[in-house]
Structure 1
Amino acid sequence: MTTPIRAITGTTGDPMSEAIGLTRRLKLPHLRRALTDLIPTAKAQRWDPAEVVRVLLAEEAAGRDQANLRTRRKRAGFPAGKTFGDWDETASSIPRPTQDALKTLEWVQRTENLCVCGPSGTGKSHFAEALGQAAVEAGMSVAWFTIEDLGALVRRHRADDSLARAMARLVRSDLIIIDDIGLLPVSPDAAEGFYRLVDAAYERRSLAVSSNLHPSGFDEIMPKTLATATVDRLLHHAHVVVTQGDSFRLTEATTGKGVTPLK
């Protein structure tokens, strides 16, 4: 004999109001928003009860996915909101097959690194951020830093000797992006933070680095011993992409495309 389903107490008032109350109790906000529109439609079209349940649960799942996406994007700390939607893949000097391969994010799943280096204005930061945005949309966690952000992190946590714990929290992200290396000499704290991050992430998490210098030249901007140890770990499992050409920003400026024309 089939075990009966636990008896549910009948409603003592308005079923819709009680249903809405239950969604609040069970923390189902997205289902609640769909409820008032869906039930009249389901009645009018004589939906199967199982279909009603399926659609309501699908609404809740989709709403939670979108909320999680917004949370991951906010936590990533992206600077400009640039994505592949506004990326001109034909104008980039990065070979199209390389772009396509990196967009799959399989290298992140394999905990490999990416170094994008080349002259200023050739799309390094845009490409790195677009990859980060794609990773967030794929359900991954991402963290974005400049190298001087790492210096500030070192200074903040050195006082109470919590730097190791800070780095451990940082490498929980699936992808960590460090932008704009090589524009200026690196402060001692930033050089230490960069090394500590690369060391902590080594063979555990993926790093993506954008730089005006090839990593082999990092000893020009940070102590040679520290640069050697950092680059050794960074490049061991890394894809190195070199950008070329004139600055996109300068080209737009000189052709009048950087501003709205004056009337």
Structure 2
Amino acid sequence: MRDLMAELKELRLHGMATAWTELIAQGESATASSRWLLEHLLQQEHADRAMRSVSHQMSMAKLPLHRDLAGFDFSASSADARLIRELASLAFTDTAQNVVLIGGPGTGKTHLATALAVSGISQHGKRVRFYSTVDLVNLLEREKHDGKAGRIAQALLRMDLVILDELGYLPFSQAGGALLFHLLS
């Protein structure tokens, strides 16, 4: 049997928890018809919060496009489908391991990285942030120039997965490279 009181408190519905306690005190006949309704409402609240959380996390990830593994053509790629599906669990983030996708332009690295992010957010509740490496370097340089160094690093510490796209494709300053190295180390 569900512990409705615990669920109400978990959802921070303290007024409803108090009212439920009062209803229980009146006896089983007072709660019989209300129990089904309350269980249904709690189930819907959990579902709604989960959907809003996924939507919020997708927005915060700043993904360039919504891509998923279903839309990736493994037959046209040298990517190992089994390995990529294994990586989609994002279990590697639990042990702070890195994944590097290497290949020429147009081989699907961004698609796969984005698909891993979508999977992590929607199926595993992970927090993800996507950056074009050049954009991140520019943000780091601007942050340092504005005397606010460290804010991006603090924000990234709260992420489960950080995706750096196009590393090595576009040049950036030596100072920017040093800032990126410092951030990654």
* TM-score between the two structures when normalised by the length of structure 2: 0.76
AA matched with 2:42: L
**Paired position in structure 2 for 1:74:** 59
Question: Offset of 1:190 from its aligned partner?
Answer: 3.4
Contact 1:142 1:173 in 2 (8 A): yes
Corresponding residue SS for 1:145: strand
* 1:180-215 deviation digits (Å, cap 9, x = unpaired): 11222232243123212211xxxxxxxxxxxxxxxx
More strand by share: 1
Corresponding residue SS for 1:178: strand
- Does 2:37 match 1:52? yes
Distance 1:115 1:191 in 2: 18
AA matched with 2:133: I
Stretches of 4+ aligned residues off by more than 6 angstroms:
none
AA matched with 1:98: L
Question: Offset of 1:74 from its aligned partner?
Answer: 0.4
- Count, aligned residues: 156
AA matched with 2:35: A
Distance 1:83 1:189 in 2: 35
More helix by share: 2
**Rg (Cα) greater in structure:** 1
* 1:71-126 deviation digits (Å, cap 9, x = unpaired): 11001000011112312233321122212221221111211000001111011010
- Does 2:66 match 1:90? no
Distance 2:48 2:175 in 1: 42
**Paired position in structure 1 for 2:98:** 113
**Paired position in structure 1 for 2:167:** 181
Unaligned runs of 5+ in 2: 1-10, 14-31
Distance 2:102 2:128 in 1: 20
Cα–Cα, structure 1 residues 92 and 196, in superposed 2: closer, same or farther, change >3 Å?
A: same
Corresponding residue SS for 2:166: strand
Unaligned runs of 5+ in 1: 1-25, 29-46, 200-263
Cα–Cα, structure 1 residues 73 and 189, in superposed 2: closer, same or farther, change >3 Å?
A: farther
* TM-score between the two structures when normalised by the length of structure 1: 0.55
Distance 2:175 2:47 in 1: 43
Percent of residue pairs bearing the same amino acid type? 28
